[in-house]
Amino acid sequence: MGLAQRTTVPTSMEAGAEKVLERTAELVPWLSEQAARVEEARRIPDDVAERLFETGLFNLMRPTRFGGFGVSPRFAWEATFKVAFGCSSSAWLAGLTSANIIMLGKFAADAQREIFAPGVSPIVPMLTGGVGQDIKIEPVEGGIVLGGRWRYASGVDISDWLGLLVNIPGSGEVPAPHVVLVPQSEFAIDHASWRVMGMRGTGSKNIALSKAFIPSHRFLSWAELQAGNKHPTCPNTEPVYEFPLNTANAMSVLAPTLGVASACSEECIKIIRGRVSSGNQQAQINDKIAQVDAGSSAATMSLLRDFLISETVAIESRILQSGPLTHEERGLSRAKVAIASRQALSSAQRLFTALGGSLLPEGTRIERLFRDIHAMSSHYLLQPEPIAEAYGRLLLGLELTPGTRL
């Protein structure tokens, strides 16, 4: 599509997206009351999912032709920030699902009619990170028969569809990776598999598929997705579907990470206001180090949240003006995202030290938040070293290593 043909999002859609942000903010107090129950359930309960759906936050990235807003991902990241102040696990699904919907908006028209049909859950776990085992694929007329096992199906209990990255054999060719869409009803879910330190409520369980027929209209080439392309029959023209896939995926895990880190800062400041130091029996609020920690953490979190929004807007503007990002531009953005995550964790860790024994009791909000921020920031998309290596290779004129995702 030429630059002159690129569409813009109508102002009315952005106004509707702002209303979604308002409804999401209004849900936060209720979500806060449910957070402990979500963690105990080790999944998002149906009533919590329903309340999240009602805000419209999962319609932000949805194509307009299916009743969505098709707006900038910045709205999804802002909604995720808000959800994180109520429930870390819900925020994780809000971020991931937003990026997954961007990917789904690139699929064939026939697949989108199934995925975005009325009454279908917007939660579509996309398992593309090498988490499959014992995968068996048999090419048949009109598609494939697929079986195997996969880990980390976040939100699978409240999903109707899943996406899997598998290597599909061709006629006399090397198998080519494709994302395939499979109904959730075809899978067996191991409900005992999600026993973890943090993000317990995401329900990122193990799943197994015996033998399921997947028609070819539910395939999309991974190479095409990596190149920023859509299926030839994809009718969506909203700018959001031009956004770089891997950048969106990385941002989708940074958004909840920054939201939870910000909630950590907020809760720590609240504790410091009422805490008496066990060492000198003085009110901690009068301690200069505590004052420095409170001020620097709150400012750091504001800075990092602003970065994610401004980086998203800058990428969109760049694409609108000049087309797809170069490898170097994607590498730089990915490196900045990973560094932002590391900065958020570092700031939270400093507060961890400042609170001392206040963190030890189980079941408190601060104890849960610290477990969640450490779990979130360990995601492979947020590790600065691998992506900095890839970006460094580009800067030094070297070839990228096989399998690098930019």
Which DSSP string corresponds to 99-163?
HHHHHHTTS-HHHHHHHTSTT--S---EE-SS-EEEEEEEEETTEEEEEEEEEEETTGGG-SEEE
Residue 7: predicted pLDDT: 56
Res 159: pLDDT:
98
Output the pLDDT for position 4.
Answer: 33
Query: What pLDDT score was predicted for residue 403?
Result: 85
State which H helix or E strand residue 182 sits in.
strand 173-183
pLDDT, tens digit, 9 for 90 and up, residues 269-288:
999 998 887 777 888 899 89
Give pLDDT, residue 172: 63
What 8-state DSSP symbol labels residue 401? P
Which CATH superfamily includes the segment(s) 3-122?
Acyl-CoA dehydrogenase/oxidase, N-terminal domain (1.10.540.10)
How far apart CA 1 and CA 245 sit, in angstroms, is 18
Per-position pLDDT tens, the chain of length 406: 333 344 567 778 999 999 999 999 999 999 999 999 999 999 999 999 999 999 999 999 999 999 999 999 999 999 999 999 999 999 999 999 999 999 999 999 999 999 999 999 999 999 998 899 999 999 999 999 999 999 999 999 999 999 999 999 876 678 999 999 999 999 999 999 999 999 999 999 999 999 999 999 999 999 999 999 999 999 999 999 999 999 999 999 999 999 999 999 999 999 999 888 777 788 889 989 989 999 999 999 999 999 999 999 999 999 999 999 999 999 999 999 999 999 999 999 988 888 877 777 888 999 999 999 999 999 999 999 999 999 999 999 999 998 899 9
Domain residue ranges in the chain: 3-122, 126-225, 243-395
What pLDDT, on the 0 to 100 scale, is given for residue 8?
65
| pLDDT given at position 171 | 64
CATH topology of domain 126-225: Butyryl-CoA Dehydrogenase, subunit A; domain 2 (2.40.110)
Query: What is the per-residue pLDDT for 343?
Result: 97
129-165 in b/e burial notation, b at 16+ Cβ within 10 A?
eebbeeeebeeeeebbebebbbbbbbbbbbbbbbbbb
CA distance 220 to 141: 17
What sign for the dihedral angle of Cα 322, 325, 329, 333? positive
Residue 5: per-residue pLDDT: 43
Q: Considering the entire predicted model, what is its pTM?
A: 0.94
- Give the per-residue pLDDT at 363: 84
Query: What CATH homologous superfamily does 243-395 map to?
Result: Butyryl-CoA Dehydrogenase, subunit A, domain 3 (1.20.140.10)
Residue with token string 């579907």: 241
